[in-house]
Structure 1
Amino acid sequence: MSLPPPGHSLIDDAQGIAFGSFMAAVSVVLLTHLGFVTGQTAGLAILISYATGWAFGPVFFIINLPFYWLGWRRFGPVFVAKSFAAVAILSVLAVILPRYLHFGDTHPAVGALLVGCLTGVGLIALFRHGSSLGGIGIVGLYIQDATGFRAGWVQMIFDAALFLVALTLRDPVTVGWSFLGAVVLNLTIAVNHRKDRYIA
């Protein structure tokens, strides 16, 4: 009888969370450079940033605070601690990186593909180390537990509402390219992150 594979060490988790947060932060810099939008709490923070001129990092950090209580109840303190770390790292990097990372002319199709891939890789790294970027996914799981309404549908409804609001702040073509980025992101996760395959 084979033994179960060893879990991640503390160093493994630290590296994975740092990597995932960094990739997501690079994606945010490119995404905002192109004027794109996205879904989930990151998308909400970006829309608030566009509408108010406030920096994305602090807005994103504050928006996620209410979700930690739900995360604690649903997933426990370890998940919350790791997710808090990931959100904090992303929030700080989103403020610092634009000083050192600049993008020139980028075709929106290429930008959408890069945003989707970068964010997808970053989120996969976070998921595989028991972390997340907080937010609506936790609410979706809570609603699913309480009512049976699927968590995926909760996230889809929220994202659809975000993209509709985005049409009041961005032109339809930009929102369309943003949607392509969201599709690439979700396909990246769906194809490359399966619990029945990943065992580390």
Structure 2
Amino acid sequence: MNHMRKWLWILFSCLCVAIGIQFLTNADLVIGGTAGLGIVMQQLTNVSFGVLFFSINLPFYFLAISQLGMVFTVRSFISVSIMSAMSDTLVLMFSFELPHPIMSAILGGAMIGIGLIFLFREGSSLGGFNMLCIFLDKRFGINPGKTMFLTDIIIVASATIVFGIVQVLYSALVIFIMTGILGRYHKKAPIERHHKKETEEVEQNEVASNL
């Protein structure tokens, strides 16, 4: 039952992110990471976002297996596959055009942020440069924050050439909203983990007393 509930939440998370991505692509907005790279490449190649996002993430799984474990890597691979399929399916079924890019930025950033929160909570991810950051940190001691900042800057800078400076400025609102939502989650997460640890210790003591 718990296993089924986990995958239902992962499906919901991927749907939220897929919807958020469609709001962005229809407004020519971009975010950092492999999703942002996929949006930029979609404009340059006319290949669907889902295919690009799935393909871009493939090299990162080899890093994740050694640094994050097989279970997390497989779960992330499935999540990326689901989100890629949902993105390409949604664009065929619905219209995500809104009257102004600011509305797309707000809704897109919020949907992606919410989706990622539930995805992280279920021990999964959407792959990408996060895996590279962890690998470089563990192997070479390179600060993951600096690596992520550098990759995001490069992706957003490339988006300036494709979409123009105005759209990139609107995209900054997307990143601000998404990181703000994730930031609030991570502030609460340590308390939740501490409570979970205490609960597990109590349960272990109860089991030990019954042996």
TM-score in same-fold range (> 0.5): yes
Match of 1:198 in 2: 192
On the 8 A contact 2:36/2:155 being kept in 1, the answer is yes
Counterparts of 1:69-80 in structure 2, within 5 Å, are 69-80=62-73
Match of 1:4 in 2: none
The correspondence for 1:51, drawn from 37, 41, 44, is 44
RMSD of Structure 2 on Structure 1 (CA): 1.4
On the 8 A contact 2:64/2:131 being kept in 1, the answer is yes
The correspondence for 1:21, drawn from 5, 11, 14, is 14
Question: Percent identity over the alignment?
Answer: 32
Match of 2:208 in 1: none
How far, CA to CA, are the matches of 2:163 and 2:39 in structure 1? 12
Are residues 1:149 and 2:142 paired?
yes
- Give the deviation of 1:103 after TM superposition: 2.8
Are residues 1:135 and 2:119 paired?
no
- Give the deviation of 1:113 after TM superposition: 1.3
Q: How many residues align?
A: 193
Q: Which has more helix, going by share of residues?
A: 2
Match of 2:94 in 1: 101
On the 8 A contact 2:43/2:162 being kept in 1, the answer is yes
How far, CA to CA, are the matches of 1:94 and 1:145 in structure 2? 33
Are residues 1:12 and 2:5 paired?
yes
On the 8 A contact 2:23/2:105 being kept in 1, the answer is no
The correspondence for 1:84, drawn from 74, 77, 80, is 77
Match of 1:34 in 2: 27
How far, CA to CA, are the matches of 1:136 and 1:179 in structure 2? 19
User: Which amino acid in 2 is paired with 1:198?
Assistant: E
- Give the deviation of 1:164 after TM superposition: 0.7
How far, CA to CA, are the matches of 2:97 and 2:37 in structure 1? 25
On the 8 A contact 2:14/2:82 being kept in 1, the answer is yes
TM-score (norm 2): 0.87
Structure showing greater radius of gyration is: 2
CA deviation map 1:127-165 (0-9, x unaligned): 011100001001101111123221121111100011111
How far, CA to CA, are the matches of 1:123 and 1:106 in structure 2? 26
How far, CA to CA, are the matches of 2:6 and 2:98 in structure 1? 36
Comparing 157-166 and 93-102, the one that deviates more? 93-102
TM-score (norm 1): 0.92
On the 8 A contact 1:109/1:177 being kept in 2, the answer is yes
On the 8 A contact 1:17/1:82 being kept in 2, the answer is no
On the 8 A contact 2:98/2:104 being kept in 1, the answer is no
> What secondary structure, in the 3-state scheme, does the structure 2 residue paired with 1:168 have?
helix
Match of 2:201 in 1: none
Match of 1:122 in 2: 115
On the 8 A contact 2:23/2:97 being kept in 1, the answer is no
> What secondary structure, in the 3-state scheme, does the structure 1 residue paired with 2:191 have?
coil
